[in-house]
Amino acid sequence: MPLLALPLLALAASAEILCPGNHGGHVQGIATDPDYNIYWSFTVALVKTDDTGQLLAQVEAPSHQGDLTWHDARLYVAVNLGAFNREPGHADSWVYVYDDASLDLLEKHPVPELVHGAGGITTQGGEFILVGGLPRGHDKNHAYRYDAAWNFLGAHPIESGYTNMGIQTACHLDGHFWFGTYNGVDSLIVTSEDFTIKHRSQLNAAYGIAPWKDGQWLRAQSAKGETRGTYTATALIETPPAIPAR
């Protein structure tokens, strides 16, 4: 019996990565770099770990940090300093840029086109794609494209119907965009690169997804921490769901 139990325990241990510590606000997104370091965005903090979850760096950050993406030794974080998920006039949407080693804040770029608040971000083909809130009464999310100099390139409708709090996280993987929402039975939205919906599922990706090794991905989860108002995070190592051919 013990001989059989050891491999099973090893398999279970390798299926998730724990972010060390307790942090203010739940995890808002995760990102990875080519060395498989992991970057965790909490509401008021950024954390960097290696691929086993060993702490490499952490910094406090202004509320409200959102989803993030890695590109060329920098982290790009969708930040909303105003009210999220409201009609235009209440949001204060930004992208904050951090050094990926020290987590020092390097730049701030306003993205006022995200009128319901910036929530998620990813990169594709040298461009940045942002997503955000969606107040009740709206039936389309939008993907907002920017070039590397933060010139606005356009807003592309996603025929999603209303989703609770819009889109929280974004990831470009295997030629598709993967969007995480709080929408329950159809919370994960997968689109082509022209933002046509290809698949939906109930898989919860609202706390972050990121590319991983050997065709897998990381999917973040968050739980209450040891003290009131703090949270922990784990990243599940999984194979992304297959997209049905159409």
Q: Is residue 1 over pLDDT 50?
A: no
Rounded CA-CA distance 123/136 in Å is 28
Confidence of residue 13 (pLDDT cuts 50, 70, 90): very low
Which amino acid, 144? Y
Average pLDDT score over residue span 196-202:
96
Beta bridge partners of 187: none
- Cα-flanking dihedrals φ and ψ of residue 12, to 5°? -65, -40
Kindly give the pairing relationship between strand 176-180 and strand 188-191: antiparallel
pLDDT by residue (tens digit) across 57-94? 999 999 999 999 999 999 999 999 999 999 999 999 99
**Which helix (H) or strand (E) is 12 found in, with range?**
helix 2-14
Which strand ranges, in their side-by-side order, compose the sheet holding 105-110? 65-71, 74-80, 93-99, 105-110
**DSSP secondary structure of 21-37:** EEEES-EEEEEE-TT--
Task: Indicate whether 142 belongs to any domain.
Answer: yes
Rounded CA-CA distance 42/66 in Å is 7
Determine the pLDDT at residue 245: 78
Task: Indicate whether 232 belongs to any domain.
Answer: yes
Which amino acid, 80? N
Average pLDDT score over residue span 112-116:
98
- What is the span of the domain harbouring residue 148? 19-238
- Three-class SS state of 109: strand
> How many structural domains comprise the chain?
1
Q: 123 is written with which tokens?
A: 């990169």
167 DSSP assignment: -
Cβ neighbours of residue 199 under 8 Å, at least 6 residues apart?
188, 189, 190, 241, 243, 244
- Three-class SS state of 3: helix
Task: Indicate whether 32 belongs to any domain.
Answer: yes
Q: What is the CATH number of the domain that holds 151?
A: 2.115.10.20
CB 14 within 8 A of CB 236: no
Q: Is residue 27 over pLDDT 90?
A: yes
Task: Indicate whether 244 belongs to any domain.
Answer: no
Task: Indicate whether 123 belongs to any domain.
Answer: yes
Q: Is residue 25 over pLDDT 50?
A: yes
